[in-house]
């Protein structure tokens, strides 16, 4: 009789774990005999157990793969490779999925489309979050199939999320000026940079003077990784000159375009603070525009850039500026004023 194992005591009979020099643990199926024969099962414990079951004729009933186990692997291997903003959102969203499908722990084979519908119903008071969670569930399930944990179809297929009202706010030039007049210089630089480039506020904060070469500002969007070259011409060229002159005046050594009054890179928190202060000041002076000012989000400048570019150069040009591969994305989410048409006569 072999020695009773003192480590990895949760392994089934004849399954062995070997720690490699790298520190990683690999699993094997021990066929016994002399000399001993072992079949590699790989480093993934869940898949190793499945392979073990296929090899061991009289294997005892083995636990099913749980959704929470796959979700936790997804957290480590997939979410951590995404943009920081996406990481933050998905780490928050996955908690809702873990709570619902982890109490009690649900095996993959027990999850059906109706369970996802139950989840969406439970989250109906947070429709936007619920829809994001549905998309995240779908991604996790697809990875479970890719990793070999299941061959079952994705329960999210065909399940509709909550209907959401499309954001319709268009920031007209007059509303832009109301806030701009009460903005600090760092915020004015930020508002102009976001609008003229059509990029997300987070991407604008990452733009640097070292990214300007061959007459273009070269960027890679943090969310989609789409590469763009924005020509340094017209008002955009004048803005970059203004930013450079201000940075020199305050003695800023930062390569980043957007800096605070102290010359250091502007953070997202600082940008939000400056924007909120400008809106508050604008509201005090223009009480009749209180609602419009309150509904003005900094992110709306990306939509304004799309609308204004579409009016002058067409929808395709707007999609190119925003970094969209499909113009339908631009039309669906960013063009808010409606198509410009002529009357019958």
Residue 344 covered by a domain: no
E strand or H helix that includes residue 29: strand 25-32
In a shared domain, residues 105 and 33: no
Q: Report the predicted TM-score, pTM, of the whole model to 2 decimal places.
A: 0.68
Q: What is the dihedral of CA 47, 50, 54, 60, to 10 degrees?
A: 150
Helix axes 268-285, 185-197, angle to 10 degrees: 100
- Per residue in 24-66, pLDDT (tens digit) is 888 887 876 677 778 888 888 878 877 777 776 555 555 678 9
In a shared domain, residues 50 and 89: no
Residue 9 covered by a domain: no
Instruction: Say how many C-beta atoms besides its own lie within 10 A of residue 256's C-beta.
Output: 19
In a shared domain, residues 323 and 184: yes
Q: Is residue 257 a contact partner of residue 207, using CB atoms and an 8 Å limit?
A: yes
Categorize the per-residue pLDDT at 5 as very low, low, confident or very high, splitting at 50, 70 and 90.
Answer: low
In a shared domain, residues 95 and 209: no
In a shared domain, residues 252 and 132: no
Residue 142 covered by a domain: yes
Categorize the per-residue pLDDT at 326 as very low, low, confident or very high, splitting at 50, 70 and 90.
Answer: very high
- Per residue in 224-271, pLDDT (tens digit) is 889 999 999 999 999 999 999 999 999 999 999 999 999 999 999 999
In a shared domain, residues 201 and 260: yes
Residue 342 covered by a domain: no
**Which of 9-18, 130-139, 188-197, 272-281 comes out lowest in average pLDDT?**
9-18
Report the pLDDT value the prediction gives residue 40, as an integer from 0 to 100.
Answer: 86
Token pair, residue 162, equals: 């909550």
* CA 340 and chain centroid, separation: 33
Residue 10 clears pLDDT 70, i.e. is over it: no
Residue 333 clears pLDDT 70, i.e. is over it: yes
* Between 62 and 208, residue with greater pLDDT: 208
Token pair, residue 273, equals: 């603070």
Categorize the per-residue pLDDT at 1 as very low, low, confident or very high, splitting at 50, 70 and 90.
Answer: very low
Residue 3 covered by a domain: no
* Between 220 and 46, residue with greater pLDDT: 220
Last residue of a domain, one of 147, 182, 203: 147
In a shared domain, residues 231 and 310: yes
In a shared domain, residues 46 and 92: no
Residue 168 covered by a domain: no
Residue 38: closest CA among 18, 58, 53: 18
Helix axes 268-285, 173-180, angle to 10 degrees: 100
Report the pLDDT value the prediction gives residue 49, as an integer from 0 to 100.
Answer: 77
Q: How many domains does the chain have?
A: 3
Categorize the per-residue pLDDT at 107 as very low, low, confident or very high, splitting at 50, 70 and 90.
Answer: very high
Domain of 29 in residue numbering reads as 15-55
Categorize the per-residue pLDDT at 202 as very low, low, confident or very high, splitting at 50, 70 and 90.
Answer: very high
Last residue of a domain, one of 113, 130, 147: 147
The backbone region for 279, taken as left when phi is positive above 0, alpha when psi lies in -120 to 50, beta otherwise, is alpha
Residue 132 covered by a domain: yes
CATH no. for residue 313? 1.10.443.10
Residue 48: closest CA among 152, 148, 145: 148
Report the pLDDT value the prediction gives residue 252, as an integer from 0 to 100.
Answer: 95
**Which of 26-40, 266-280, 299-313 comes out lowest in average pLDDT?**
26-40
In a shared domain, residues 289 and 201: yes
Residue 3 clears pLDDT 60, i.e. is over it: no
Report the pLDDT value the prediction gives residue 292, as an integer from 0 to 100.
Answer: 96
E strand or H helix that includes residue 25: strand 25-32
To the nearest whole number, what is the mean pLDDT of the chain? Answer: 90
Last residue of a domain, one of 132, 147, 162: 147
Q: What is the dihedral of CA 230, 231, 232, 234, to 10 degrees?
A: -110
In a shared domain, residues 118 and 236: no
Helix axes 315-322, 300-313, angle to 10 degrees: 140
**Which of 62-71, 286-295, 306-315 comes out lowest in average pLDDT?**
62-71
Q: Which residues pair with 38 in a beta bridge?
A: 30
Report the pLDDT value the prediction gives residue 272, as an integer from 0 to 100.
Answer: 96
Residue 137 covered by a domain: yes
Please compute, for residue 291, the number of CA atoms within 13 A of its CA located in the half-sphere on the CB side. 2
In a shared domain, residues 181 and 255: yes
* Between 84 and 281, residue with greater pLDDT: 281
Q: Is residue 65 a contact partner of residue 147, using CB atoms and an 8 Å limit?
A: no
In a shared domain, residues 302 and 244: yes
């Amino acid at each position: 009789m072999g020695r009773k194992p003192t480590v990895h005591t949760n392994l089934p009979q004849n399954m062995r774990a070997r720690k490699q020099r790298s520190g990683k643990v690999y699993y094997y199926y021990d066929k016994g005999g002399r000399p001993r024969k072992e079949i590699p099962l790989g480093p993934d414990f869940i898949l190793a157990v499945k392979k073990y079951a296929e090899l061991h004729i009289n294997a005892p009933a083995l636990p099913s793969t749980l959704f929470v186990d796959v979700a936790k692997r997804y957290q480590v291997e997939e979410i951590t490779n995404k943009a920081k903003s996406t990481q933050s959102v998905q780490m928050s969203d996955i908690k809702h999925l873990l709570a619902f499908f982890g109490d009690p722990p649900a095996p993959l084979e027990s999850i059906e489309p109706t369970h996802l519908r139950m989840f969406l119903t439970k989250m109906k008071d947070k429709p936007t979050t619920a829809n994001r969670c549905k998309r995240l569930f779908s991604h996790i399930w697809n990875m479970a199939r890719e990793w070999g944990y299941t061959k079952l179809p994705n329960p999210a297929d065909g399940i509709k999320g909550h209907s959401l009202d499309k954001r319709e706010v268009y920031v007209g030039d007059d509303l832009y000026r109301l806030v701009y007049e009460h903005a600090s210089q760092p915020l004015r630089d930020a508002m102009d940079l976001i609008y003229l480039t059509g990029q997300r506020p987070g991407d604008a904060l990452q733009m640097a003077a070292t990214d300007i070469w061959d007459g273009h500002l070269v960027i890679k969007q943090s969310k989609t990784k789409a590469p763009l070259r924005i020509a340094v011409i017209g008002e955009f060229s004048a803005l970059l000159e203004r930013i450079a002159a201000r940075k020199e005046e305050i003695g800023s050594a930062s390569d980043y375009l957007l800096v605070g009054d102290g010359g250091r890179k502007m953070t997202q928190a600082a940008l939000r603070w400056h924007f909120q202060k400008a809106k508050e000041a604008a509201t005090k002076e223009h009480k009749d525009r209180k609602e419009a000012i309150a509904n003005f989000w900094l992110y709306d400048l990306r939509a304004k850039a799309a609308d204004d570019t579409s009016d002058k150069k067409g929808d395709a040009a707007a999609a190119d500026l925003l970094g969209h591969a499909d113009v339908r994305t631009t039309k669906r989410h960013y063009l808010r004023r409606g198509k410009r048409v002529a009357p019958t006569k």
